[in-house]
Each structure stands twice: as structure tokens, then as C-alpha cells.
A and B are shown apart, each in its own frame.
Chain A
Amino acid sequence: MRLALLLALLWPGISLARIGDSVQTSTLKNGMKILVQEDHTVPAVALYFFYRVGSRDERPGITGISHFFEHMMFNGSQHFGPGEFDRQMEVHGGNNNAYTTKDVTVYTDWFPPDTLDLMMRMESDRMAHLVFQPKIVESERGVVYSERRLRVDNDNLGALSEEVEAAAIIAHPYHWPVVGWASDIEAWTMQDLETYYKQGYAPNNCIMVVTGDVRTDRVFQLAKQYFEAIPSHATFGEPRTVEPKQEGERVVRIRKEAELPLLMLAFHMPPTKSPEYPAIEVLETILATGESSRLYSRLVNHEQAALNAQVFDEPSLDPFLLSIVIEPRAGVAVDHVRTLVVSELEKIKASPVPETELRKAKNQWLAAHYRELKSNAGRANMLGTYEIFYGDYKKLYEEPAEVEKVTAADIQRVARQILTPENRTVGILIPQSKRTEEARK
């Protein structure tokens, strides 16, 4: 009952169940699921398509092809020529984006309410009838390579994360980067693209989420009209490979032209749907959310050894990584920073978190959770993410209760399971100066 009371306080005047109930669902005969949540605050709609297509479905030689597809989906389908998707959208007051992860490719459209019909028509056309033109494939290859240079080659954290992930995950497809290895970006063929599209882009492999200024019955009617005739078919199977248990610390060092070093510690952790996940989220909050968090307070404020301390994970279908990223201060030895991080991790394993600190972390988590629901775009993204990674969009509204149940003992248990030296991959970016090297030669 304590839980019910807490939620009533956080959502004055709105019962949590009612918000969950305001989502309507429907599944087409071909297996495509649709989630709709009306909100008439502003004359705008968010329309999201979550395809279960990610770098997890690739293999060596075609790494990065899921992400490349995300780009190709804007380059022409049977009834809308190259660039037409964007042009039509923008002239009707809409815009769009898309993102690819290890597990999903998500297409995100935002537009005024009277453009719903057109958007559904265009999305249906590219799901069923994408067109590949050799010239466009080549120019888009250049765009994707530029994106890789932006996010990896010329971005120190991007470069270090890629190396750390590849060292931590040695067998499972999470080993390679979402953007793909450079040599694969250069080498994809038209045949690769066509095969991959045919396999992955099926209605039964997709969830459509609509939030905003719409009428639910109209959305269902248009979905039926434009999507139900697209045949379902078998798609990628689950990856067979299970990542073997790591048996000892791994260390990766890379040298880059840089002003400051970077330190990353990555630990294998269970997938998002694991019952341990709520406790892990609270653990992460205690470690690095806010300036009073353990790592920030110790490394940045007290020891003045770092500029920042952050913890990352991302929704994942299979076990992935909990990553701690530290930007050491100039002149501070990276090994010293690493010792400080490890000593904080040992503390959280050694003694239970005090009640006030646990309460603080839960409040932070809850407030952040609600912040994600402020906009149509945020709600659409969260509904789709929960439907895919937690197995049910309703978990979005149930997770606060799960987090509330987390105890100090739970935190200690997951910390002891995950934050061990054997389970750890350490990455260090060492600054070097090309000029100094050239001068030496």
C-alpha cells in the first residue's frame, strides 16, 4: 500500500492505471501491432515504427547494413521517388529522423494531424516496396562513411567505446559496432541489401506507435487500409551464439591525437527484460546520476581527479554492457583515476546503501522516467521501447512499482554479480601528439 500512496502523490489527479489504459492496441492480420495514445495538447502527431532489425541480425562482412538501411529507407519506394518521402513530409509541415541500435531500427515521424493519411501511405510503401538504385546506394555509402568519421574516427569516446565493446563481447553479434566496420561500409553489394531488406522488413517484425492529436479509430482504419495487405513472412532468427562468460579482466589501450585521456570500464550485465534490471537501474543512479552520486562526488568534487563521471547502458534483447566513462583531469594519472573508481565500486559491494541514499536514487529515477513522457515524441519512443525490450508496453506504467520495490540488499547483490574484476573490460585512450612524433623522426 505504500506504493499506491507514493504514486498517488506523484501523479496528483491522475491515476497511473488510467494513463496506462489510455493506450489502445490493435494487431493486423499480418501480425503488425499498433499502439495509439491520444493527446490533444498541441496540433501534432508522433508516428514511430519499431522494426526488430539491428546489428544483432548481421554477420561479418555486412556489419553496419542495418544502419545503412535506415538511410536507404529515405531514398525511394515504388510510389515515392528518391527524396520524395522527405519532400512530401516537409511541405506538409512535418519532419523526421531515424535511429538504429544493436536490436532495432526506429523511424520517427512528426507532423500536423491532417498529414496522417499521407504518412501512413508513404510508410506502407517503403515497408513493402523499397527501390534500390545503384547510383543512390553509392552516394549514401559516402554519407554513412561520413557519419562513421563523425561519431567514431573523429570522436574519442566513440573510438574508445567501439574498441571496448569489441574486446568485452567476443562472440555474440553485439561485438561489432552498429555503424559497421569501415571495410564493410565500403563493400556492401546490392545483393546484400536486397536480401537483408526482404528478410527483415516484414509487418510482423514491426510495431507502429502513434501518439498525439489523432483519433484512435481513424488510426486503426488507416493502418488496416495501408498495411494489412502486406504479407507477413519469416524474419531473422534469434542469434545462436551465447556470449561465453568472461574469466578475467581485459584491457584495451588506444592512442589518439587528443588533449585529454579517457577511461572506460565495461561490465557484462543481463538484458533489459531481466528481473534484476530495476535494481541495476537504481545501482547506476546511485553511482553516477547527479553531483551527489558516488562517482561524481568522489572523483569530480572531492578528489578533483575527473571532469565527469557517467554510467551508461542501453536497452538490449541479449546481455550487453554497463559502462562507466570517466574524463580524467589534465595531469592526473589514468591509473590513479581507475583506482578511485574501483574503490567506489568495492564500497557499494561491501556495505548496503543507506536508506536515504536509496530513497534519493528512486526519486531521481522516477522523476527522470516521467520526464521522458512529457512530449508526444517521448511517449511514442517509450511505448515502443517497452513493448520491444520489456515485452509489453504496459511495463512502462508498472516499472515505477518495480523500482520502488528495490531494496538495499538487491543493490548489493547486483553490484556483487556485475561489478567484479573478472567481468570487467577496461579501456584507456592515451593522448599523443602527431607533431611530437614527427619532430622525433
Chain B
Amino acid sequence: MKGVLPALLAIAVAIPLAAAELRLPPFSRQVLPNGLTLEVMQRKGIPLVEIDIAVKGGVESDPADQPGLAEVTGELLRKGTTSRDSDEFSKDLDALGGTYRIRADAQSTLLQSEFLSKDFGAGLALIADAVLHATFPESEVKKLLAQQSDKAKATKDDPAEAIEPYAHAFFFGESHPYGRVMSEISIAHMNRDSIANYHKRMYSGRNLAIAVVGDIDAQNARAEVERAFDSAPAGEPYQWTEPIRLSRTPRARLLLVDKPAATQTYFFIAQPGIDAKSSDRVAVSLVNTLFGGRFTSMLNEELRVKSGLTYGARNIIDEDRLQGMNSISTFTKTDSTGEAVALSLQVLKDLNEHGLKADQLASAKAYEQGVTPREMLETPDQLAKLLLRLEMLGFGPDEVNTLFQRMDAVSIAEANTVARKYFETSGLTFIFIGDAKKIRAQVAKFAPEIKEIDISAPGFGGI
């Protein structure tokens, strides 16, 4: 692959005038008597329908000693209900050719499912059965916890995947909900009671939102969802965590995860970023497009295109309910670890000190306005996910409908202000996975002290 990682000076490139408009297709939103929010959008075309359900809470609602509880509860929904055992559920789902995926993100547990339009009723009944009538049989709980525990260990066999939980645990720390990541240690604290209690507390009308998008009759779909979910108890609304302000550490911090015999080092360079509702979010995202978001970004240009140090380098801005990380992410061969880190820091310094030029900002706007329609609004699954994200974060349709106007309004002065504010060069947090014996000396200069752990040590360096 050429690379999917998300450049630099747009030299002598004529920038087209932005005239694009972004609009959410029409949809209905209603709140059922039990507090459940239902959104339905009809999209004619391929005869498929996406049924997605979000449960408020997600990672931030995990008990401090049981990170991953939201996710595990979600995984167990299909493993036995009042009317189907685990095998029967799987057979019914597969017989419809349906898909079913569960994932807990920072603020919600998201169930994504898709069926042929003609099977909407049967698919909905199946999903409602899982969400409302899961019984959490003891034997299935034990089985799933054991599997999840092995999966957490298996993550470490793929350093490209493992770097993220290590980075979260080290950057946020155990006192922050985003710093508590699921591992075999946290799974050992879970049991049927904690799971069933979480389900009882969180899976109630006032914490649920459903989005149905696809080739269906909207009126019928609304009626069917109402019927399927009107038995859900209203319950108590989830109390969101109060905002937690991340402070920049006075000195650099560094975690080195030793993976002997690794031929490549994977690393993050993290600093405090924004929350999803930050008034700087549009400007930050445009700056990030240029810094590390697209293929021709400053980072990818220097680390991949010009120097061949890596297959890809990018910068990731978390946009969750609570303030998140702003992190450079890349990898390079063991011998060039120090060089790649130094070059990343140089690019960061260039952005912070020299800022951006007007033609670069215009290029970022043109890029984002070109790719957004197809990345956000093309398919039913994208649309359903978007509707629920807006719902979980408390946004209305204007978050989408005015996005391009808000992008156009970002001035070069504003862009450079956020570049200085969020892309700082001191107080950074470094996370490495690599062969410690060979890279220890290369990375020592980036922080006053190194915290080193063995990759085979249980957990991800936290709980």
C-alpha cells in the first residue's frame, strides 16, 4: 500500500475557491416516553439498513478498578437473552446476513448493525433482544472474560496496535478515566454481578439513542422501533464526568516498553489537546491537516517523503467529551529511532515558531471541504454513526451544516494562535515500543528520566 496515513508547502498550486456546502440529509428526531432518542433517515439506493445504538457512558463510565467494563458488557449482550441462547442468537443473525459490531469509545458504547432492508423488522427484533433482554449467563461471562484477557495479551504481538493503550495509560495516568485501559488485570476484577449491574444501570431509555439509516420507509421504521423499545425502563440518566483539565508537565516524561528483537520502533509524542466542544476545534483540525493529517502533511513530508525514515507519520487530535491527547505517531527502523524523534520535534518546532502561511491554510480548507462529504455523508453506516456522535456530544445538525462556513471563517491569525497554543515543544510525553537494549541510549536525551517496562509484564503499565 502506498499508505493511508494522512505536507507541506503548497508551492505554486492554484487553490480553488471554496464554494462547497455541507448538509445533513433530512432526518427525524424524537424522544420516546421512556426517554430514548430515536433518529430515522431514509436513504434510497442499495437496499440495506443500518441500525446503530449508542449507550451513554463508554470508557469514562468504567469503574476505576474495571476499565473495559462498558465494552465487555456490550460484547456479552448477544451471549444469551431471555429468548435465545448464544448459539441461537448467532444463527439468527447469520441467517439474515446481518453484521453486528460493538465498541466502547470515550463517551459511549456503540452497537453497529446492518441488515438487508427487507429484513429490517427481524434485524431490529434481534438487536432489541440483545440490548434489552441480555441475561449474562455465568458460563458465557466466564468464557468471554477469559477470551478478552487473552486478546489483551495478543494485542502486544502487534506493536502498531499496542502503542495506543500504553500511550493512554502513561499520558493520562490512573486517576483519569482515559488513562485506565482494559487489560488482563482489569478483566480479573470483573464478574457477572458487575456486568449485570452496569447493564441495569446504563441500558435504560434515558441513556439510549438509536439511529436508523437506509432504504426503508421512515414512518414504518419509527413505529417498529417504538414497538421494539417501548418496554425499556426510563432509568436514571447517566451523570457525565465533570471536565478534567490536563496540565502540561514541567519536564518531559518518557515510557520505554521493551520488546526484544523488534526491528522497528513505534512511538507517540503526546501533549494536551482539546475536547470535542472546544471553541478552537475547527481551527485546530485545519492546523492538524497541515501538520500531520493528510499525506502531504509537514510530518509525513519530512519523515517519509524526504527522508524515507518511515512508511508513515501523522498527528492525531482526539475529539472526545473530555480533553484528550494531541499526538505525533510514527515508527521507524530501530537504528534510526533517535533521528526520527529529533526530526519530529524539529517539525513541531517549525510549526510552533514559524506558523503557517495563508496559502497553506487555504489549501487545508479546500482539502477538508473536498474529502468531508464522502467521508461523512456517503453511506448509511457513516450517517448513522455521525447522528449518534452528535447526539452523544450534545450537538445539533448545525455542527455539520455550518462546518464549512466555520472553516472559511478561520483566519490565518487564528490558525497561528492555535498552532502556538496546542503544538508546543516542551512538557511532552514520549512513549516507545522497541528493543530497549538498542534504543535506550538513542532516546535518553529526550527526557530527564526513562520509565522502562517489559512488554510481557501484565497490563499496559497502568491498572
Q: Residue of A at shortest CB range from B140?
A: A301
The answer to whether B33 has its CB under 8 Å from any CB of chain A is no
Q: Residue of B at shortest CB range from A359?
A: B95
Q: Are A91 and B366 in contact (CB under 8 A)?
A: yes
Q: Are A363 and B379 in contact (CB under 8 A)?
A: no
Name B32-59 residues within 8 Å CB distance of A.
Answer: 45-48
Return the contact of B378 from the options A44, A153, A329, A370 (Cβ within 8 A): A44
CB contact under 8 A between A150 and B20, given known A91-B367, A93-B367, A259-B153: no
Q: Are A290 and B94 in contact (CB under 8 A)?
A: yes
CB contact under 8 A between A42 and B311, given known A363-B96, A374-B46: no
Contact with A along B330-352 (1 / 0, CB 8 A): 01110000000000000000000
Contact with A along B103-134 (1 / 0, CB 8 A): 00000000000111110000000000000000
The answer to whether A327 has its CB under 8 Å from any CB of chain B is yes
Least CB distance from A79 to B in Å reads: 13
The answer to whether A375 has its CB under 8 Å from any CB of chain B is yes
Question: How far is it, in angstroms, between the C-alpha of A376 and the C-alpha of B379 when the chains are bound?
Answer: 10
Return the contact of B374 from the options A142, A149, A359, A376 (Cβ within 8 A): A376
CB contact under 8 A between A141 and B308, given known A155-B158, A307-B154, A371-B114: yes
The answer to whether B418 has its CB under 8 Å from any CB of chain A is no
Question: How far is it, in angstroms, between the C-alpha of A327 and the C-alpha of B86 when the chains are bound?
Answer: 21
Contact with B along A278-315 (1 / 0, CB 8 A): 00000000000111110001001100100100000000
Name A248-294 residues within 8 Å CB distance of B.
Answer: 256-260, 289-293
Least CB distance from A213 to B in Å reads: 10
Q: Kindly list chain A residues whose C-beta atoms are within 8 Å of the C-beta of B449.
A: none
Q: Are B380 and A86 in contact (CB under 8 A)?
A: no
CB contact under 8 A between A86 and B308, given known A301-B87, A307-B147, A366-B97: no
The answer to whether B369 has its CB under 8 Å from any CB of chain A is yes
Least CB distance from A275 to B in Å reads: 24
Q: Residue of A at shortest CB range from B15?
A: A91
The answer to whether A435 has its CB under 8 Å from any CB of chain B is yes
Q: Are B296 and A138 in contact (CB under 8 A)?
A: no
CB contact under 8 A between A11 and B47, given known A43-B373, A83-B305, A90-B294: yes
Question: How far is it, in angstroms, between the C-alpha of A138 and the C-alpha of B309 when the chains are bound?
Answer: 11
Least CB distance from A362 to B in Å reads: 9
Contact with B along A149-178 (1 / 0, CB 8 A): 110011110000000000000000000000
Return the contact of B151 from the options A92, A142, A307, A356 (Cβ within 8 A): A307
The answer to whether A243 has its CB under 8 Å from any CB of chain B is no
Stretch at the interface among A106-114, A194-202, A231-239, A336-344: A106-114
Least CB distance from B177 to A in Å reads: 26
Q: Kindly list chain A residues whose C-beta atoms are within 8 Å of the C-beta of B379.
A: 374-375
CB contact under 8 A between A147 and B373, given known A329-B150, A370-B46: no
Q: Are B456 and A259 in contact (CB under 8 A)?
A: yes
Q: Are A86 and B4 in contact (CB under 8 A)?
A: no
Return the contact of B371 from the options A94, A143, A155, A375 (Cβ within 8 A): A94
Q: Are A145 and B333 in contact (CB under 8 A)?
A: yes
CB contact under 8 A between A97 and B332, given known A92-B366, A142-B308: no
Return the contact of A86 from the options B7, B159, B373, B381 (Cβ within 8 A): B7
Least CB distance from A119 to B in Å reads: 12
The answer to whether B262 has its CB under 8 Å from any CB of chain A is yes
The answer to whether A367 has its CB under 8 Å from any CB of chain B is yes
Return the contact of B95 from the options A13, A156, A360 (Cβ within 8 A): A360
The answer to whether A60 has its CB under 8 Å from any CB of chain B is no
Q: Are B456 and A433 in contact (CB under 8 A)?
A: yes
Return the contact of A259 from the options B157, B306, B331, B333 (Cβ within 8 A): B157
Q: Kindly list chain A residues whose C-beta atoms are within 8 Å of the C-beta of B114.
A: 367, 371
Q: Are B20 and A43 in contact (CB under 8 A)?
A: yes
Least CB distance from A51 to B in Å reads: 14
Name B1-35 residues within 8 Å CB distance of A.
Answer: 1-4, 7, 10-11, 13-16, 20
Question: How far is it, in angstroms, between the C-alpha of A155 and the C-alpha of B380 when the chains are bound?
Answer: 33
The answer to whether B295 has its CB under 8 Å from any CB of chain A is yes
CB contact under 8 A between A42 and B260, given known A146-B309, A259-B456: no
Least CB distance from A287 to B in Å reads: 13
Q: Are B373 and A97 in contact (CB under 8 A)?
A: no
Question: How far is it, in angstroms, between the C-alpha of A92 and the C-alpha of B262 when the chains are bound?
Answer: 40
Contact with B along A353-396 (1 / 0, CB 8 A): 00010011001111110110111110000000000000000000
The answer to whether A139 has its CB under 8 Å from any CB of chain B is yes
Q: Are A330 and B7 in contact (CB under 8 A)?
A: no
Q: Are B264 and A149 in contact (CB under 8 A)?
A: yes
Contact with A along B356-381 (1 / 0, CB 8 A): 00000001001111110110011111
Q: Are B378 and A367 in contact (CB under 8 A)?
A: no
Return the contact of B311 from the options A147, A292, A363 (Cβ within 8 A): A147
Q: Are B97 and A368 in contact (CB under 8 A)?
A: yes
The answer to whether B93 has its CB under 8 Å from any CB of chain A is yes
CB contact under 8 A between A139 and B306, given known A86-B295, A91-B366, A374-B380: yes
Q: Are B331 and A146 in contact (CB under 8 A)?
A: yes
Q: Are A91 and B333 in contact (CB under 8 A)?
A: no
Q: Are B1 and A146 in contact (CB under 8 A)?
A: no
Q: Kindly list chain A residues whose C-beta atoms are within 8 Å of the C-beta of B2.
A: 70-71, 74, 96-99
Question: How far is it, in angstroms, between the C-alpha of A112 and the C-alpha of B20 when the chains are bound?
Answer: 10
Q: Are B264 and A92 in contact (CB under 8 A)?
A: no
Q: Are B374 and A10 in contact (CB under 8 A)?
A: no
Q: Are B295 and A90 in contact (CB under 8 A)?
A: yes
Least CB distance from A41 to B in Å reads: 7
Q: Are A93 and B366 in contact (CB under 8 A)?
A: yes
Q: Kindly list chain B residues whose C-beta atoms are within 8 Å of the C-beta of A433.
A: 260, 456
Q: Are A110 and B4 in contact (CB under 8 A)?
A: no
Question: How far is it, in angstroms, between the C-alpha of A147 and the C-alpha of B98 when the chains are bound?
Answer: 34
Question: How far is it, in angstroms, between the C-alpha of A294 and the C-alpha of B264 when the chains are bound?
Answer: 38
The answer to whether B425 has its CB under 8 Å from any CB of chain A is no
Q: Are B47 and A373 in contact (CB under 8 A)?
A: no
Q: Residue of A at shortest CB range from B48?
A: A370
Q: Are B374 and A42 in contact (CB under 8 A)?
A: yes
Least CB distance from A382 to B in Å reads: 12
The answer to whether B261 has its CB under 8 Å from any CB of chain A is yes
Q: Kindly list chain B residues whose C-beta atoms are within 8 Å of the C-beta of A59.
A: none
The answer to whether A416 has its CB under 8 Å from any CB of chain B is no
The answer to whether B146 has its CB under 8 Å from any CB of chain A is yes
Q: Are B86 and A111 in contact (CB under 8 A)?
A: no
Name B77-95 residues within 8 Å CB distance of A.
Answer: 78, 86-87, 90-91, 93-95
Question: How far is it, in angstroms, between the C-alpha of A44 and the C-alpha of B375 when the chains are bound?
Answer: 10
Q: Kindly list chain B residues whose C-beta atoms are within 8 Å of the C-beta of A356.
A: 95
Question: How far is it, in angstroms, between the C-alpha of A83 and the C-alpha of B254 when the chains are bound?
Answer: 34
Name B179-215 residues within 8 Å CB distance of A.
Answer: 215
Q: Residue of B at shortest CB range from A90?
A: B367
Q: Are B10 and A91 in contact (CB under 8 A)?
A: yes
CB contact under 8 A between A10 and B116, given known A90-B296, A292-B91: yes
Q: Are A307 and B150 in contact (CB under 8 A)?
A: yes
The answer to whether A333 has its CB under 8 Å from any CB of chain B is no
Q: Which 9 pairs show the lowest CB-CB distances between chains A and B?
A: A93-B370, A142-B308, A367-B97, A139-B308, A290-B94, A434-B260, A292-B90, A291-B90, A44-B374
Interface residues of B (CB under 8 A from A): 1-4, 7, 10-11, 13-16, 20, 45-48, 78, 86-87, 90-91, 93-99, 114-118, 143, 146-147, 150-151, 153-154, 156-160, 215, 259-264, 294-296, 301, 304-311, 331-333, 363, 366-371, 373-374, 377-381, 454, 456
Contact sample, A vs B, 7 pairs, CB 8 Å cutoff: A70-B2, A91-B367, A257-B260, A360-B95, A364-B97, A376-B374, A435-B454
Apart from A91-B367, A155-B158, A359-B95, what 12 extra A-B contacts exist at CB < 8 Å? A12-B47, A90-B363, A97-B1, A97-B3, A146-B264, A154-B264, A257-B260, A259-B157, A307-B154, A363-B94, A367-B96, A371-B99
